[in-house]
């Protein structure tokens, strides 16, 4: 059974304009997040990502549909049940949301104090968490004395204090520079791998999905328009918006403008071949072309690695008679996806 399961979930807000139709922030979403996943949710601003997170941790009620978290139907929970549910879900935020008047130790201790643990237990647990996030030497510092990356480490320690099964990260690295982002992502990977915590990452940055997530859902206007394994979606995105996101991180796919330039600059038919690991070898493709007597030139390309699996896109200019080229492309078509620029 998935750890988080949404079925036909909708969330509508009243429109600010009197008499206008309500805003469908979430519109018929089905989503399954398995225990142990690092599940990325990507979409442009206003797509509904933050609303989805607020529904999963029941900070707001859904308008309709079913939301099951860790075996419990969230939409019918009492206040007491909601409090218990939220104890099992940690959250980290873009702006860290730390208490500036409390020390690092006190910030991390806060959820444990709320949960009513004894002082000695709290001390032991906080020490453990400080070691885990690598901030033991900063225990008595205040948030203002920390870098952005250190603040987010405190945020992560605080979110993990009550040993939640799920960690929701809402744009958790968006306020950090690229190097610090990588450090925080590495820590989140450790949280997933070493502590077995399921992580839901909300982001508008494809780099975050690429380096952290194992699954992803792409959102647009309140709907999930595509979801699946990160490798599958990155190597063969189906929807226009997914293609745009993927193109921000994936090497080797020429943009329409670049294709126009290639077509002008090179004689012959311009064809992009897309491979995934196991599908085909480049050598096999080149051999097929050579054996058919098609003259070819590599004009654009790149190989990508997603979690140890490779896929690539090669754009070739092909010269020869059309029938011979068509025959060679049909043969290659069984090993790679062939897209021709007309
Ligand atoms: N409390 C609210 N009242 C009215 N409309 C809301 C409310 N919260 C969100 N919305 C609307 O719902 C839609 C989705 O918003 P949401 O914040 O979930 O998107 P998002 O993908 O998280 O965007 P961002 O990355 O900018 O935060 C938007 O049109 C937004 O204006």
Could you report the per-residue pLDDT of 71-115, keeping only the tens digit for each?
Answer: 999 988 998 899 888 888 999 999 999 999 999 999 999 999 998
pLDDT in the model for residue 203:
93
User: What confidence tens digit (pLDDT) does each residue in 115-126 have?
Assistant: 899 999 999 999
- Residues 130, 50, 227, 62, CA torsion sign: positive
Q: Poorest-confidence range of 15-19, 72-76, 199-203, 211-215?
A: 15-19
Distance between Cα 237 and ligand 1 center (Å)? 25
Mean pLDDT of the chain: 92
User: With the CA atoms of 221, 223, 229 and 232 taken in that order, what torsion angle do they form, in degrees rounded to the nearest 10?
Assistant: -70
Q: What is the pLDDT of residues 168-199, one digit of tens each?
A: 999 999 989 999 999 999 999 999 999 999 99
Nearest CA to ligand 1 atom 8: 51
How many C-beta atoms lie closer than 10 Å to residue 179's C-beta? 8
152-173 b/e (C-beta count within 10 Å ≥ 16 → b): bbbbbbbbbbbebbbbbbbbbb
* Residue with CA at minimum distance from ligand 1 atom 12: 25
Q: Provide mean pLDDT across the span 323-330.
A: 93
- As a whole number of angstroms, the distance between CA 211 and CA 10 comes to 30
**Residue 279 pLDDT exceeds 80:** no
pLDDT above 70: residue 305: yes
pTM of the model: 0.87
CA distance 144 to 295: 64
Three-state secondary structure string covering 183-210:
HHHHHHHHHHHHHCCEEEEEECCHHHHH
**What is residue 256's predicted lDDT score, i.e. its pLDDT?**
85
Mean pLDDT, residues 205-219: 93
Q: Is the pLDDT score of 281 beyond 80? A: no
Q: Are 271 and 339 contacting, i.e. CB atoms less than 8 angstroms apart?
A: yes
Residue 341 structure tokens: 């620029």
- Gap from CA of 26 to ligand 1 centroid (Å): 9
pLDDT band at 5 (very low <50, low <70, confident <90, very high): very high
Domain ranges of the chain: 4-88+164-247, 256-341
Domains 4-88+164-247 and 256-341 share a fold: no
> What is the CATH class of 4-88+164-247?
alpha beta
- Cα 50 to averaged position of ligand 1 atoms, centre (Å): 7
The pLDDT value given to residue 3: 96
Q: Does the structural domain 256-341 have CATH classification 3.30.70.260?
A: yes
Top-confidence residue, 253 or 23:
23
Beta pairing, strands 337-341 & 269-276: antiparallel
User: Which residues does a 6 A CB cutoff place in the pocket of ligand 1?
Assistant: 13, 23, 25, 43, 45-51, 204
């Amino acid at each position: 059974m998935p750890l988080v399961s949404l079925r036909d979930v909708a969330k509508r807000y009243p429109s600010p304009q009197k008499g206008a139709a309500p805003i469908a922030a979430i519109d018929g979403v089905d989503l399954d997040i398995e225990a142990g996943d690092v599940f990325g949710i990507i979409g442009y601003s206003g797509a509904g990502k933050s609303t989805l997170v607020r529904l999963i941790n029941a900070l707001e009620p859904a308008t309709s549909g079913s939301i099951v978290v860790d075996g419990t139907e969230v939409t019918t929970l009492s206040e007491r049940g909601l409090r218990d549910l939220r104890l099992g879900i940690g959250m980290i935020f873009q702006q860290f949301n730390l208490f500036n008047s409390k020390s690092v130790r006190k910030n991390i201790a806060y959820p444990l104090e709320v949960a009513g643990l004894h002082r000695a237990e709290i001390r032991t647990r906080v020490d453990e968490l400080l070691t885990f996030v690598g901030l033991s030497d900063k225990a008595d510092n205040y948030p203002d004395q920390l870098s952005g990356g250190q603040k987010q480490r405190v945020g992560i320690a605080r979110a993990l204090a009550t040993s939640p099964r799920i960690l929701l990260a809402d744009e958790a690295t968006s306020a950090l520079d690229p190097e610090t982002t990588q450090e925080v992502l590495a820590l989140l990977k450790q949280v997933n791998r070493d502590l077995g915590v399921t992580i839901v990452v909300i982001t508008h940055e494809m780099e975050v999905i690429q380096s952290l997530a194992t699954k992803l859902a792409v959102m647009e206007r309140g709907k999930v328009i595509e979801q699946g394994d990160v490798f599958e979606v990155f190597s063969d995105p189906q929807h226009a918006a997914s293609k745009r996101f993927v193109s921000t991180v994936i090497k080797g796919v020429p943009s329409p403008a670049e294709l126009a330039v290639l077509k002008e600059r090179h004689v012959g038919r311009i064809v992009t071949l897309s491979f995934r690991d196991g599908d085909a070898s480049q050598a096999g493709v080149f051999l097929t072309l050579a054996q058919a007597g098609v003259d070819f030139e590599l004009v654009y390309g790149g190989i990508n690695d997603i979690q140890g699996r490779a896929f690539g896109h090669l754009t070739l200019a092909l010269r020869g008679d059309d029938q011979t080229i068509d025959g060679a492309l049909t043969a290659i078509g069984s090993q790679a996806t062939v897209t021709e620029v007309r």
